[in-house]
């Protein structure tokens, strides 16, 4: 079964759900690990999440176009490459922001980003694998309904 192309609405749902779950896990964890107030860490995390949501929609749209052009399947290896590409692109956008907000140097911010990446790589991979599976199941369950309406 070929799944339909994602709509803008679905892309927004994907990005927002990804970021909300990450914020709920990440803010308390980073605040505790780095001994930074929940408020300060929360502001930084929400700001980075807004950047990440925009990047998520752009990156996934480009990824979907690439998939259509090259006709590859989203295997585990492809999802690993997808997660790496997303996270590396996000670091480019957020590294200066984190350094400025936390009043640390770029090298320290890079080390912090590397630590955060250790959380987000498996999180991104797991979230997207689960999302793909749930999306496929949802469309498969709708298929018999659509056939019965003809």
pLDDT digits (tens, 9 = 90+) for 116-144: 888 888 998 899 999 989 998 988 888 76
Task: List the beta strands (DSSP E) in 22-140.
Answer: none
Say whether 105 sits in a helix, a strand or coil: coil
User: CA of 29: how far to CAs of 11, 41, 121, in Å?
Assistant: 27, 10, 16
Q: Does any domain span residue 150?
A: no
DSSP string, 109-148: HHHHHHHHHHHHHHHHHHHHHHHHHHHHHHHHHHHHHHHH
pLDDT for 147: 57
pTM: 0.68
Tell me, yes or no, whether 148 lies in a domain: no
Domain assignment of residue 99, yes or no: yes
CA distance 46 to 26: 10
pLDDT score of 145 more than 60: no
- Residue at 149 is within a domain: no
The candidate with the shortest Cα–Cα distance to 112, out of 41, 63, 46, is 41
pLDDT at position 143: 73
Please tell me the predicted confidence (pLDDT) of residue 65.
93
Report which of 115, 119, 64, 57 is spatially closest to residue 89, judged by C-alpha positions: 57
In a domain, 119, yes or no: yes
Domain-located, residue 147: no
When pLDDT is cut at 50, 70 and 90, the band that residue 44 belongs to is very high
In a domain, 33, yes or no: yes
- Domain around 59: 8-142
- Say if 45 falls within a structural domain: yes
Distance CA 139, CA 8 (A): 17
What is the reported pLDDT for 148?
58
Classify residue 109 by burial, with Cβ atoms within 10 Å: 0-12, 13-18, 19+: buried
Q: What's the pLDDT tens digit per position in 73-123?
A: 889 899 889 988 988 898 888 999 999 999 999 999 999 888 888 888 899
What's the structural domain count of the chain? 1
């Amino acid at each position: 079964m070929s799944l339909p192309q994602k709509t803008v609405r679905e892309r927004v749902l994907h990005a927002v759900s990804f970021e909300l779950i990450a914020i709920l896990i990440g803010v308390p964890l980073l605040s505790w690990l780095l001994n930074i107030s929940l408020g300060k860490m929360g502001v930084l995390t929400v700001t980075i999440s807004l950047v990440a949501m925009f990047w998520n929609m752009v990156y996934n749209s480009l990824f979907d176009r690439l998939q259509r052009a090259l006709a590859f399947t989203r295997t585990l290896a492809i999802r690993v490459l997808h997660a790496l590409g997303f996270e590396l692109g996000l670091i480019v956008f957020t590294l200066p922001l984190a350094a400025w907000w936390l009043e640390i140097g770029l090298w320290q911010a890079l080390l912090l980003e590397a630590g955060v990446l250790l959380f987000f790589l498996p999180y991104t991979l797991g979230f997207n694998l689960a999302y793909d599976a749930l999306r496929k199941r949802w469309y498969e369950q709708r298929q018999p309904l659509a056939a019965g309406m003809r």
